[in-house]
Amino acid sequence: MSVSIEQRFPRPSVMGVVNVTPDSFSDGGVNYAPEDAVATARRMHAEGAAIVDVGGESTRPGSEGVSVDEELRRVEPVLEAVGGDVPVSIDTAKAAVARRALELGAELVNDVTALRGDPKLVGVVAEHDAYLCLMHMRGEPRTMQVDPKYDDVVSEVAAFLYERLRFAVGEGVTEDRICLDPGIGFGKTVEHNFELLSRLDVIASLGRPVLVGVSRKSSLGRILGDPEAKTGPLSASLAAAVTAYERGATILRVHDVKEHVEALTVAAAVAR
Ligand code: HH2
C-alpha cells in the first residue's frame, strides 16, 4: 500500500529549496557547486525539512530554459550524493530529468508547468507512483510578468488546478499522490499574489493538499514599500508562510528551513 501525500506530509510540512543554478532569483548561485548543494540539503533535513526540492533550472521572471543535458549535469551529482539519506523532490518540467531523479530516489516531482511542458512527464510520474505537485503559472517564465490580468484570479487558478488534477488522474497518476500549488509570483501581480494567499481556502477546497512557495518572493519586498524589489526578507516570508498555513496550506516551500520550522511549530500549537 502506498502512503498518501496527506500521510507523508502532515500539516504543516516544510520543503527546503536547493537551487543548483547560477541564476535563481532568491539564492542565485549559493548552491550551484554540487558540494554546496549537498551540504545545504543535509542541513535543511537536519533542521526539520520534510523534503528538499532540488532544481537545476531557474524559473525566475525573464529566465530562459536550460537543456536536458545541462539540467541533468547540475542535479545528478546532488541526487547521487543525498539520495537515500535525505528525502528529495525534483523541481523539473522535463520527463528525462524526472526519470533520472526518481531512479536516484526522489519521491516527488514538482512541475511548475503542471504537466503542460513535456507530454512524457505524466507517464514517468505514473510509472514510478511518485508524488506530484501541480502548479499554476500564467504564460511562461520569460514573459509571465508582462501585465498579467485575471477577472477573478482565485477562481481562475482553482479552475486551472482542477483541470490539471483531472488530467493527471486520467493519465494514470493516483489522486492521493497529488498536491496543488497556486504558483505565487508566476504570472501574477502583487495584488493577485496576496488575494490568492488570502483566499487559499478556495484552492484547499479542491480536496488536495496545498503547497505554497512564497519564501523570499518579490511581492513581499514590494508590499514593504520597494516597488522595484526582486526579493523579500525572512521576516515577511515567515508571516506569509504562517498565514498561508492558517488558511489551509499543507506544505511550505522555503529557503530558510530552521526559521520556518520554528514559526510553523508555534502556529500549529496555536491551531491545535
Ligand atoms: N517557486 C519557484 C520555483 N519552483 N515550485 C512550486 N511548486 N511552487 C513555487 O512557488 C515555486 C516552485 C521559484 O523560486 P526559486 O526556486 O527560489 O527560484 P528560481 O525559480 O529562480 O530558481
* CB of 30 closer than 8 Å to CB of 36: yes
SS3 string, the chain, reads CCCCHHHHCCCCEEEEEEECCCCCCCCCCCCCCHHHHHHHHHHHHHCCCCEEEEECCCCCCCCCCCCHHHHHHHHHHHHHHHCCCCCEEEECCCHHHHHHHHHCCCCEEEECCCCCCCCCHHHHHHHHCCEEEEECCCCCCCCCCCCCCCCCHHHHHHHHHHHHHHHHHHCCCCHHHEEEECCCCCCCCHHHHHHHHHCHHHHHCCCCCEEECCCCCHHHHHHCCCCCCCCCCHHHHHHHHHHHHHCCEEEEEECCHHHHHHHHHHHHHHHC
12 upstream amide cis, omega within 30 of 0: yes
Please report how the helices 68-82 and 95-103 are oriented relative to each other, as an axis angle in degrees rounded to 10. 20
Q: How far is the CA of 214 from the centre of ligand 1 (A)?
A: 9
Q: What is the mean pLDDT of the chain?
A: 96
> What does the pLDDT look like over 187-205, one tens digit per residue?
999 999 999 999 999 999 9
Atom of ligand 1 nearest to the CA of 185: 10
Q: How far is the CA of 213 from the centre of ligand 1 (A)?
A: 7
**Percentage of the chain modeled with pLDDT above 70:** 100
Whether residue 27 has pLDDT greater than 80? no
The three grid cell numbers given for residue 22, joined into one nine-digit string: 547560477
- Residue 94 annotated in active site: no
Phi/psi for 101 (5° steps) reads -65, -40
Q: How far is the CA of 18 from the centre of ligand 1 (A)?
A: 10
**Radius of gyration of the chain, Cα coordinates, nearest whole angstrom:** 17
> What does the pLDDT look like over 43-94, one tens digit per residue?
999 999 999 999 999 988 888 889 999 999 999 999 999 988 999 999 999 9
pTM flag (> 0.85)? yes
- Residue 253 annotated in active site: yes
Q: In which band, very low, low, confident or very high, does the pLDDT at 163 lie, cut at 50, 70 and 90?
A: very high
Phi/psi for 106 (5° steps) reads -60, 145
Give ∠ CA 27-211-267 in degrees, rounded to 5: 90
CA–CA dist 132, 109 (Å, integer): 5
pLDDT (0 to 100) of residue 1: 57
pLDDT (0 to 100) of residue 61: 83
Whether residue 29 has pLDDT greater than 80? yes
**Percentage of the chain modeled with pLDDT above 90:** 89
pLDDT (0 to 100) of residue 23: 87
Whether residue 272 has pLDDT greater than 90? no
Pocket around ligand 1 at a 6 A CB cut-off: 17, 19, 21, 24-26, 55, 58-60, 91, 110, 112, 133, 135, 181, 183-184, 211, 213, 253
Whether residue 28 has pLDDT greater than 80? no
pLDDT (0 to 100) of residue 271: 95
Whether residue 126 has pLDDT greater than 70? yes
